[in-house]
């Protein structure tokens, strides 16, 4: 499994994974508790400053991972323009970008193995009741790992469509994208079976 951790070393790389995840939870709660547009603009600027602090390479890597949000942001803004409530739409978009940006910062500065250790610790009480928590740990690792992979494959499909077709990208790309996702899932399942499964 390829790590999503940034190769650019920052101070946050040495911080405990539990502390970073707890901070992320607290920051997300604050984002959803506050509704002022000015506040959310400030939160986004602060997040961008944090990205910029380790240097240009780290900043560019983080921004590349956040590009997948632009279609969602566009849809939300268009809907709120249609309903004459642009201010609320702007708050939602800013909140979404900031929350995902902060989560991305955690994954860029934390090894997946360290996050799984935290999840294992959090799930420890469930094991007393006979609940198998390995599947939960694995599911979280797979989501963190394969979400950007699928996003990248979606972008590749979109570029291939533009190179071969004069028509605009439409619903037809859904089928090959679904086939790619299923193919990846089958490969992961075979790899898990080869290693003893769950």
Residue 91 has pLDDT above 80, yes or no: yes
pLDDT class for 49, splitting at 50, 70, 90? very high
Residue 124 placed within a domain: no
Quote the pLDDT of residue 1.
34
More confident: 76 or 9: 76
Separation between Cα atoms, residue 63 and residue 71, nearest integer Å: 15
Residues 103 and 33 in one domain: yes
- Structurally, the chain folds into a number of domains equal to 2
Residues 76 and 158 in one domain: no
Residue 171, classified by CB atoms within 10 Å of its CB into exposed (0-12), middle (13-18) or buried (19+), is exposed
Quote the pLDDT of residue 79.
92
Residue 115 placed within a domain: no
Q: What own/partner pairs with CB < 8 Å and gap ≥ 24 does 115-122 have? A: 115/17, 115/21, 115/140, 115/141, 115/144, 116/140, 116/141, 117/17, 118/17, 118/18, 118/21, 121/18
Residues 100 and 143 in one domain: no
Q: Which domain holds residue 142?
A: 134-198
What percent of the chain has pLDDT above 90?
Answer: 33
Residue 67 has pLDDT above 70, yes or no: yes
- Can you tell me the mean pLDDT for 98-115? 90
pTM, rounded to two decimals = 0.73
Residue 164 placed within a domain: yes
pLDDT tens string 111-122: 878 888 888 888
pLDDT class for 169, splitting at 50, 70, 90? low
Residues 29 and 87 in one domain: yes
Residues 24 and 105 in one domain: yes
pLDDT tens string 134-148: 777 777 777 777 777
């Amino acid at each position: 499994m390829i790590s999503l951790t940034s190769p650019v070393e920052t101070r946050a790389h040495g911080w405990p994974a539990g502390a970073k995840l707890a901070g992320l939870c607290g920051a997300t709660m604050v984002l959803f508790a506050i509704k002022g547009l000015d506040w959310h603009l400030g939160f986004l600027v602060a997040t961008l400053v944090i990205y910029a602090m380790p240097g240009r390479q780290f900043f560019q890597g983080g921004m590349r991972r956040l590009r997948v949000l632009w279609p969602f942001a566009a849809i939300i803004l268009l809907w709120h323009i249609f309903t004459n409530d642009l201010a609320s739409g702007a708050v939602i978009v800013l909140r979404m970008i900031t929350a995902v940006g902060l989560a991305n910062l955690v994954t860029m500065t934390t090894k997946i193995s360290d996050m799984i250790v935290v999840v294992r610790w959090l799930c420890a009480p469930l094991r007393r009741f006979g609940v198998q928590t390995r599947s939960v740990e694995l599911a979280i690792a797979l989501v963190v790992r394969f979400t950007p992979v699928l996003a990248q494959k979606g972008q590749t499909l979109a570029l291939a469509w533009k190179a071969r077709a004069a028509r605009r990208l439409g619903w037809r790309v859904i089928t090959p994208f679904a086939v790619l996702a299923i193919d990846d899932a089958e490969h992961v399942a075979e790899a898990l079976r080869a290693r003893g499964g769950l």
